[in-house]
Chains A and B, each alone.
Chain A
Amino acid sequence: MTYLQLENLHRDFGTVKALNGININLGEGEFLSLLGPSGCGKTTALRLVAGFDRPDAGRIVVDGKDVTGVPPNKRDMGMVFQAYSLFPNMTARQNVEFGLKIRGKDKSDRSKSVTDLLELVGLGHAVDRYPHQLSGGMQQRVALARALAIQPSVLLLDEPLSALDAKVRVQLREEIRRIQLELGITTLYVTHDQEEALAISDHVAVMYGGVIEQMGTPAEMYTAPATPFVAEFIGTMNRLESTVVGDGEVEHAGLRLQVAEARGRRTGERVLVLIRPESLELEAATNGGAPNSFNGEVLTQTFLGPVTRVKVTGGGTSLIADMSTARAAALPVGARVTAKIPAEGAKLLSLPDDGPALAELVHDED
């Protein structure tokens, strides 16, 4: 059953359409990440839910109640900000206690829930410290405890980890998820980090240009991207602009490939072939053109720990393949290699016949 519902939300800033009609239905206790590059509208959407901003059109419904016109201090939404949101003049305890004091909770109740919450976020030892005496990660833990203290109907997190070190980021995101599951609280999480979104969410919504490009489970988003933008944004992807040349066959820059998904498509249709780096197989160059193989030269090797990312180039086309570091050692930079492209593992997306070039579609953010 839907608990949080965003219905056809629109918000314009001057001529910029920050939100151009987004719809979200989230069940109680679910965790949804709004993912996208800066300027995609994800933070605007979150601020509308929090009540800091009003939509030009559309409704926000929480647990059956329309809250679109309710001011932020009456919405009961817990919010965690990017950084610097703790009240500098109050200790960790006083920060967490603030919302309870405003709700007129009596002292013993307050004291108990504050202690419990600070324990929950792992800061039982630092209750009397001021924000400037806490590290960035600890400050965000206090901010989380403070948002949870008011027992909010929805928990909102606005890139809460973006100002932290990589290691703390990973640790804290797992804790956010653990606490969210433990309390069963409906959560909206904004991030530009796709790895973060995939790691902790029940659902991910990829946003671009004020609309939701695709929404689904992390696995769906990774394995079956519905638009070229999602394919580019989630994970690393080899993208080959191709034309259908026969039943189940496409051509890209003289390279003919068998792709299962191309069956039944119109000959001459422009398509985008998507291949994950981990589904490419590389081996030392073989003579003769086996089907679905691409011959080239190793251009670079990027060591990523257990796997090594190998970039292969030949005939104007470049492909990226991930392989175990041990096997990559046999294929040094400059080596002639053959990449086997699996007919089943490749995805296919239609491209508009006379639309903008793909590069423009995907890269105009950078």
Chain B
Amino acid sequence: MAASAYVWLFLAAAYFLIPLYATLAFSLKKNEAGTPCCTLANYSWVIHNGDFWHTIKISFLLAIETIVISLLLFVPTIYWVHLKLPKLRPVIAFMALIPFIVPPIVMVVGLLRVFRGTPHWFYAEPWGFLATAYVILAFPYMFFSLDAGFRSIDVHTLTEASQSLGASWPTTLFRVILPNIRSAALAASFLTLAIVLGEFTIANLAAFHTFPIFLQYVNESQGFPAGALTLLSFMITWAAMLSLLLVGRKRAARGALITGPR
């Protein structure tokens, strides 16, 4: 590697690490001005805060719900588009861009209007309204990851081989297709997890109490614990991604090898 590459690597690392370090230093300070470093009191405050555990649980469950609904919705759809309706692919790719183009503030106003009058269990609960909004938000990430996965395998031949051996559509999808797009589905799930754990605008405007809302509240009211909370949430998100990765690592590694020599 050339020396200039190291310089760029260093600059990039600094760009990401300096804010993290600053947050860490800030989170270790005491509330009273002038006292020397260091204390873990801010971390203790976070861990002993009931709202922290409550909101993070909601956000996690929401993330899992969004991932499950999205996969159930998009895997069969994108499979079918690749297999039978390839002309529809560009149309869906365009539709997938809409959540990027429409600002969340516009989207949430629209969604609140559309779903006004729906039952209480849907409209007033995060599991209904918010999950629906998040499936829409996750659509682009789901579509482009899964689409790449489906393009890396020979969907037609694998499907026909499976059928000629006697497999039904569900068997073909679950035993032949899904295991071979596993790494793509995993990537899509990562991105969805990250989005849901960090989404603020929609939850705030629709008045739901999720983790990002709690984070914002702490940030505004108590300076030093906010630093601790930020770092903790950062680590929790990374831990969640790492565990997802570990679950799918064996298959994902194999998937990468298969696409290699083709």
Contact = CB atoms under 8 A, between A and B. Distances in A.
Interface of A: 50-52, 71-79, 81-89, 98-99, 102-103, 130-132, 143, 146-147, 150, 156
B157 A81 contact: yes
Nearest to A130: B254
Contacts of B164: 50-51, 72-73, 75, 77-79, 147, 156
B153 interface: yes
Contacts of A88: 153, 180, 254-255, 258
Nearest to A149: B165
Contacts of A75: 164
Interface centre among A79, A89, A98 (most CB of B within 10 A): A89
Interface residues of B, number: 27
Interface in B209-262: 251, 254-255, 257-258, 260-262
Contacts of B153: 88
Interface string B158-176: 1011111111100100011
B125 interface: no
A103 B171 CA distance: 12
Contact of B161 (A76, A81, A89, A103): A81
B180 to A, nearest CB: 5
Interface centre among A98, A147, A156 (most CB of B within 10 A): A98
Interface centre among A52, A71, A73, A76 (most CB of B within 10 A): A73
B154 interface: yes
11 contacts: A52-B160, A81-B161, A87-B158, A88-B153, A88-B180, A99-B166, A102-B166, A102-B171, A131-B258, A146-B165, A156-B164
Contacts of B154: 84-85
Given A73-B168, A131-B258, A147-B164, A87 B157 contact: no
Given A89-B254, A130-B254, A132-B260, A84 B157 contact: yes
B179 interface: yes
B44 to A, nearest CB: 47
Contacts of A87: 158, 161-162, 176, 179-180
A77 B165 CA distance: 8
Given A85-B154, A89-B254, A130-B254, A98 B260 contact: no
Interface centre among B160, B251, B255, B257 (most CB of A within 10 A): B160
Given A88-B153, A89-B251, A131-B258, A98 B160 contact: no
Contacts of B254: 88-89, 130
A131 B254 CA distance: 11
Nearest to A82: B157
